[in-house]
Structure 1
């Protein structure tokens, strides 16, 4: 069965830790339990803020490092999951369900891509 990488894109500057509703953690836990019991979830995690990250760039034969936060970037990857689904339609259904547990006022994008198997 194919594996899929789902990357959660958020506008980091628009969502503070105080903006997380209490019930979000409960809804998230229930969905993650369901997807795990279904045998689909292989790995998932949220990511620390970009202020704690570093970008490594290769350009013109040289490496450069840029410490966060990355203010020029509107959206950043806030989390990811790796799932094993029967097809892309199933992966998209799980992504839809994940997005729907978040507050309606938030703008979140989930990019779903199949992992190239070698």
Structure 2
């Protein structure tokens, strides 16, 4: 089964990461991604641009309303993700716990639906 590890930063963690040296963080992420690949569970991973560079399409209006910037509160922002393929959410959680992240960052783990899920 595939699981998405959704990285969320609290505001303070995002500021701290922004001010931290980039190369050591990049190297740590590279080692983590390599470990996922060597174990055969890595599917994909991506970081996201800053929330202010995005737009929100709100479907509560007709036509939908398009606005600049992040959706809702910025206390915890979705800023990247991995998709891994493991036998269980428990194994996915074990891999998530090994991510080179620090205080103020959380990984939410959600199963990725398959086509079979759509026909229930």
User: CA 1:71–1:114 in 2, change beyond 3 Å: closer, same or farther?
Assistant: closer
Structure-2-length-normalised TM-score: 0.82
1:23 is matched with 24
Matched residue pairs, number?
Answer: 113
- Once residues 80 and 41 of structure 2 are traced to their aligned partners in structure 1, the CA distance between those partners, rounded to angstroms, is 17
- Once residues 13 and 78 of structure 1 are traced to their aligned partners in structure 2, the CA distance between those partners, rounded to angstroms, is 14
Q: Does 1:8 align with 2:3?
A: no
| 1:15-57 deviation digits (Å, cap 9, x = unpaired) | 2322346422222111111101111010101111001011111
Pairwise CA RMSD: 2.0
User: CA 1:75–1:34 in 2, change beyond 3 Å: closer, same or farther?
Assistant: same
1:102 is matched with 101
2:57 is matched with 56
Q: What is the DSSP-based 3-state SS (H/G/I as helix, E as strand, rest coil) of the residue aligned with 1:116?
A: coil
- Once residues 117 and 70 of structure 1 are traced to their aligned partners in structure 2, the CA distance between those partners, rounded to angstroms, is 27
2:45 is matched with 44
User: CA 1:14–1:34 in 2, change beyond 3 Å: closer, same or farther?
Assistant: closer
1:116 is matched with 113
Structure-1-length-normalised TM-score: 0.83
- Once residues 90 and 49 of structure 1 are traced to their aligned partners in structure 2, the CA distance between those partners, rounded to angstroms, is 30
Contact residue 11 and residue 74 of structure 2 kept, 8 A: no
Contact residue 13 and residue 104 of structure 2 kept, 8 A: no
Structure 1 residues without counterparts, runs of 5 or longer: none
Contact residue 6 and residue 81 of structure 2 kept, 8 A: yes
- Once residues 22 and 62 of structure 2 are traced to their aligned partners in structure 1, the CA distance between those partners, rounded to angstroms, is 46
